[in-house]
Structure formats: structure tokens, C-alpha cells
Amino acid sequence: MSKLNNLKKLFLSAALSGLSLASIQAQISYTQGWDATGLNSWTTYGTAGGFDRTTITPCTGAGAARANYYYGGSSILQSPLLTGNNGGDITVSFNYKATEWSANTTGTPDIGVVFIQWATIPTGTWTTFGIIDGTNHTVSGSCANKSFTLTGVPSSGNLYIRLAAVAGSNSDAYIYFDDVSISQLASQSCWAPTAPTLGLITDNSAAVSWTAPATAPSMGYEYYFSTSATPPTASTPASGTSGAGTTSTTMSPLLSNTLYYAWIRSSCGTSSKSGWNMINPFVTEKVVARPWTENCSNVSTFDGWGVQSGDWFVGVTGGMNGNPGGALYVNQYSTGTAAASISTYNIGPVLGTDVFSFDYKVAKYDAPYGPVSPGSGYLKVMISTNFGQTYTQLDSLQYPTDTPWISKSYPLTSYAGQKVKLKLESYWNSTVASDYNIGFDNFFVGAPPCTPPVVNLGADTTICQGTTLTLNAGNTPGATYAWNGGATTQTLAVTTAGTYSVTVTHGACATSDTIVVGTSVPPTVNLGTDTTICNAGSYQLNAGAGTGYTYQWSTNATSQIIDVTSTGNYSVTVTNQHGCTATDEVSVTFSAVPTVNGITATGNPSPSFAFEANGASNAATYHWDFGHNGATATGATANYTYPSLPTQATYTVTLRITNDCGEATVTTIVTVNASVGVNELKLDNNVLKLFPNPGTHSVQLINESNLKMKQVIITNILGQTVASIAVNNNTQQVIDVNRLPAGLYHVRVEFEEGTVTRKLEVIK
């Protein structure tokens, strides 16, 4: 895959060859230049072949140790026993070069990795205290010098040093070593920490712990990290510190998906430091944002994935294609249970609506790439939220017994806000030797595919002031609605101008729309007050002008102005260009000045008369004046009774008729003959009322006639006058009967025109 992955493979290869990546120190005093014949007690081995003494282009002198290492293989050169160890820091220096196999005077950049390691016995365990790789390799046909410090060795005992070269996966080269010098300090006062061990590695940090020396440093510890394998010197500034008494820390900030080299040392004072002790190289976790898709079309996109077991490939092979293009696949074959495991880099932080999905299939290795037998194996789908430290199983899938691609999807609701790493573990359970491919394709982390909601608020529009426009975002079952004003309903009632937008969300899909709403003032219509038109043939009504106005009259006319010629109610509705309307109505009456020919008066017997207007036209009101005591009446006809007098009397009756155009007046004279004796008037009980009757203390006399009362006389049943009362109120006279004994009485009311008698009962 990438160069970074190649380096990780080399470190893994070194570990499988017994090449540990922890930290050490070197030895007392030793030199070797291979000027004499042979390897001079050094031993050699490796998967790519060992070292030999060569006299061809040595670094200095007559000879050097050289090996041809190639294609990921290892060539190892191990020292003889180094005696005299006193536990002090050891410096190991040497000259080296890596050249093309085909031209040993031409330097090659592809050195792979050279591990400088120590052990206390010749078979290991080996601990790394120095590295040469692409980050600190000197590319040259001539030799370069490297020097590394070994700290934390035992205080006594045997030591061995080895130089372990691991070739690049595509490299075929010579590696030379010459002029090895190993020297140990005679004494020291500040001792380095030992056994540095990596803990949790994230995308931006790495935890490390260590064992404190027998005499713990008074000022704690310093650590240094770099993207180059070049070791720090005594004067190199630390990247960070850890306080006295601590044995762990977290190194940060680090770059994602980056190979780091790190060292730690004790700080015993401002000018008293131990040597740097190397920590295993490590690669920080790679994190990519969601949504993430991997369609397995290019092997380089798998940089940052982790292979735990199995031989994994990216490409097109029999039975693992057409989905479309290439696939990620592993070839499994065994007669027992075998596992192949691979993990993605980290993706996220994921959303609660995200899913993890992929396609997979299982097919035989050989054509025609048929299905596997039932129960042949199964697949575990796993997830981690702590950068692969631990995993939770999402699913366990039995191998399918047919060969089409199968799609799987898992909701990530429980992992919202976290970075996730996915892992696939394929287990083969066949008891019969066979050969199968298990393929994967179209990895995806993100919002699941969905159909966006349909939202259409309509074109921008204008509404009338005082009206309401209902905006509808569409009825999508299960959707949520978010308006820019904060409403969360499907519909929104709009009464004011503005810009309105809504986002409709259904699952992981969302659709938005916006509408601009304006407001329009309705037209102003005023046909005036109700009116009467006198002696005219027509009257003009004007509904008012305006841009884009249309008109609809009650007469079905559609013009702004109409002429009316008859009495009636007229209305108009005016509509502006935005559909806003206003309505007004007016009553128009056509009329002329009223006329009347005279008054017809009939009366039998006198003095009561009936009056009627003769030949009246265009009259709206009638007003009669009977010429007696201010008596009047209204209406087209009227009745009036004059008083009976001892002598003949005449009265002038006047009629005035009116309308909005004017008035007309006529008069007539009526004669009332003289009366003989007392005139007993006939007034209805509703016109002259006496109540309460019977009465106890007082009674009231109510006069609703147009006659004037002069005196009230009360007589008993013997005709004797028991009370004579002067009238002080012509319409309501109170009569005191409290002193009258119980019994029947006559109440005689005297008018100028005559008298009226009523019976009264007094009770006690």
C-alpha cells in the first residue's frame, strides 16, 4: 500500500524475527573494522541471507561486513559477547551504506529498516535502541556514520549487540557495516528509566509508561518525539515533561496517521540528565470525516487500515468482481478453523442518523467460483470507539450458500458523536481442505440513502393587509419541520410581509424551500352618504381610480364610474392588481318637490272631524295643526275633536307636507256649532284613566287627551259633594281619598269643552 504501511510491515517483520522495538544501552569498549579475514567472531543469519566480509568498496580500511538483502527479507549481524558491563550508558557508532545490488557504488534510497538492538544472551530477547530508515538514512555510494546511545542496561552481566537490516518489500540491495565502536561510560549519577511501554494511541496522542530507575530522578522525566529516526542528543530540547514520582504520561499533540519515533530520559537536575531511552516507534491513528466511502478501486486508499491476520488483497480476481470493479478480499484455505481479520481506520465523529454498510460475498477460489457448503464459516462485524483497544460485536453472519453480493447495514445511533473503527473477522470452519475467497466492497459510513421530501411553498406572492396566507410544507409522513421563525408545524399562517423558509427532514434527508411574501393595501372606495336627487334625471357614482383596479357593480357594470337613473341601493367591489378588494354601498333616491291640492274635512256630528290630504304627491312627512290649543298630528289622515262651547267657533286647520326636496302647505276652516247645557264628553278609559280603582289613600287621574282639565269634583251616592279639587297638572292629577270613608263615589272632571264622570270605590 503506502510507504507508511511498508514501514509498518517492516516493523512487524522485525518483530516476527525476534526484533523487539523497546530500548537498551551498549557495552564497555570494543571496535571492529573487518580488516582481517572473516567476520571476527560476529555471527550472521536472516531470512534474506547473512553477512560476509567483503573487500569491495569498504567504508575504510581493507574490509567491511556486507549482505544482499531483498524483498522484505532480513540480514542480521550479531556481535560476540561484550564483557565488562558496568550498567552505564553505552554509545554504539558505525559506518554504513546501502547500495543498489546492480551497482554497489550507487546509493539506494530504499534502505528498508535497520534495527540496532541489544540482549543479555545470544538468542535474545532483543531490544531496539536505534533505527535507521527512510527518515534518517543517508543516500550515498559512500559510507555515513551513525551513533546511538544505549541506556538502562543491567548493572552487570553479558551484553550482545546486533545490526538487523530488513529490506523494503520491493528492494534488492547491499547493506554495508564498518568501523563499529562500542564504548561505555565509566560511571554516571543520573540513570535512565527502563522498559518504556506504549499504551493507548489515538489520532493525536500516545500514552507511554516506564519503570523508574533505582534512584528516581528528582526532577522527573523528559520525553522527545519526532517523525525522524535520528536520535536526540544530550542538548536536544524535550517535547514534554512528566513530574517527579510519575511513571506514565501522554505525548501530544501528534499528527494523525503519522509514524513517530520517541525517547524518554531522567532529569536529575538542570544540568544532570540521563541518556535518552528509545520507545517503540508507533503510528498514530488515522481519522477521516464522515461520510466515508471505500469502493476498493485503489489499494492506496487503504492506507491506515490494520491487518491483524490473513493475506488481504485489493483488486479483481475470480468471483470477486463486478460490484463494480475491484474488491477487498482474503484467501482462506485450511482443514480447521482459521481466521482473517482486518480493521478500517477511524471514521467520525459519526451522527446519530448514520449507518455502517458494506457488501460481501463468499465464493470458491477456482472457476466457476461456486458457492461454499452450508456451515463452512462465518463473519463477525465489530466496532470500536477507543481506536481499536476493544471491540463490540455488531453481527455474526454465516457464510451464504450462494454467490451474489449481499448488502448489510447497521445503524450507528448508539455511537453518535464518537469516532468509530470497524473490524471484519472471517472464520473458516471447513473440516475438508478447500480454497475460498471472501470479498468485501462498497464500505460506507454516513447518512443512509433516502428520498428527499418534496417541499414547494410556491412562487413569491403578495397578500392583502388583514388577510392570512397559509404556507404548506407538504405532508411527508414521519418528517419534521423547521421554519426560520421557529415554528415546527407542517403549515404556517402568514399575515405580514417577509421571507419565509422551511427545512423538512425525513430520516437523513432534508429539503428546504423559501418564499418571499409581500403585503398590499386594499383599495379605498367611498361612494358617499346615502342621497336624494331632486328634479334630476341621473346621478353619477365614482368608485375611485387606482393602478390595476377592476370594478364590479351591483348593476353588472365594470367601469369606474356609472350613471344611475332610478331609486335604489347601489354597491361596487374594487379589486387591485394583487387581488385585494374593497366594497361600498350607497342608497340613491330620485324625488321632486311635494305637492298637495287641499284638505278634505268630514265631521258628524260636530265638533269631531276627520281630516285627509287631498291630491298629495312626493310626500315624505305630513304635519297637521288643528288650530286649537297647539294640537297637532302626523300621517296622511288625522282626527280631532274640538270643545263644545256655548257659542259657535271656527278653527283653521293647516297641513304641511315635506321631503328632501322641499315642502307644500294647505289650509282649511272648520266650524263648531254652539252647545246647549252641559256637554258630557265621551272620553275612552285609555284616554282619561283613574287608578288605582278601588283606591285606599290616593288615586291618580291621567289625561292623555288634548283637552284641558279645570276642576275635579267628588260626590257620594247621595249626590253630595265631598271634595272639590283644583287641577294643578293637566296630564297627571293626584287625588287624596285618605279621609273619605269606604264606599262608592262619582268623580266628575270638568273640561272647558264639557265634563267626564268616572266611578270610584274607596276601601279601607
CB-based contact 333:434 (threshold 8 Å): yes
Domain 598-672 part of CATH 2.130.10.10: no
* CA–CA dist 708, 755 (Å, integer): 11
DSSP run (H or E) holding 13: helix 3-16
CA angle 753, 756, 759 (to 5 degrees): 170
* CA–CA dist 499, 92 (Å, integer): 76
Residue in the structure block whose three cell numbers are 260626590: 715
Give me the half-sphere count of Cα atoms (radius 13 Å) on the Cβ side of residue 152.
27
pLDDT, position 416: 97
Partners of residue 216 on adjacent β-strands: none
CB-based contact 217:266 (threshold 8 Å): yes
Same fold, 3-184 and 598-672: no
Kindly give the pairing relationship between strand 292-294 and strand 550-553: unpaired
**CATH fit for domain 3-184, picks 3.10.20.600, 3.30.1330.120, 3.40.50.620, 2.60.120.200:** 2.60.120.200
Q: Which among 200, 257, 254, 190 is positioned nearest to 222, based on CA atoms? A: 190
Phi first, then psi: give them for residue 15, nearest 5 degrees.
-65, -40
> SS3 of 310, please?
coil
* CA–CA dist 283, 255 (Å, integer): 9
* CA–CA dist 326, 442 (Å, integer): 10
Q: Measured between alpha carbons, how far is residue 583 from residues 318, 480, 570, 586 in Å?
A: 83, 42, 11, 11
Beta strands in 473-530 (DSSP E): 480-483, 491-494, 498-506, 509-520
pLDDT, position 15: 39
DSSP run (H or E) holding 11: helix 3-16
Superfamily of domain 287-446: Galactose-binding domain-like (2.60.120.260)
Q: What is the mean pLDDT of each run of 10 residues along the chain (764 residues)?
A: 44 40 52 95 96 96 96 97 91 97 91 97 95 96 96 90 95 97 88 95 97 96 97 96 97 96 97 95 95 87 87 84 83 72 96 94 85 84 96 94 90 97 87 77 91 93 93 92 96 96 89 96 94 90 94 96 95 94 95 91 77 92 93 93 75 94 92 66 90 94 91 88 90 93 93 88 92
Close Cβ partners of 314 (under 8 Å, ≥ 6 residues apart): 296, 298, 299, 302, 326, 327, 328, 329
DSSP run (H or E) holding 277: strand 277-283
What is this structure's pTM? 0.58
Structurally, at CATH architecture level, domain 461-520 sits in Sandwich (2.60)
CATH topology of domain 688-762: Immunoglobulin-like (2.60.40)
* CA–CA dist 211, 604 (Å, integer): 147
Beta strands in 348-478 (DSSP E): 355-364, 377-384, 392-398, 406-411, 420-428, 436-446, 461-464, 469-472
- Grid cell listed for 502: 422551511
pLDDT, position 81: 96
* CA–CA dist 615, 286 (Å, integer): 115
Close Cβ partners of 677 (under 8 Å, ≥ 6 residues apart): none
Q: Where are the domains of the chain?
A: 3-184, 194-282, 287-446, 461-520, 531-591, 598-672, 688-762
Class of domain 194-282: mainly beta
Residue in the structure block whose three cell numbers are 516493523: 11
Categorise residue 537: left if φ over 0, alpha if ψ from -120 to 50, beta otherwise: alpha
Residues in the chain: 764
Peptide bond into 692 cis (omega under 30): yes
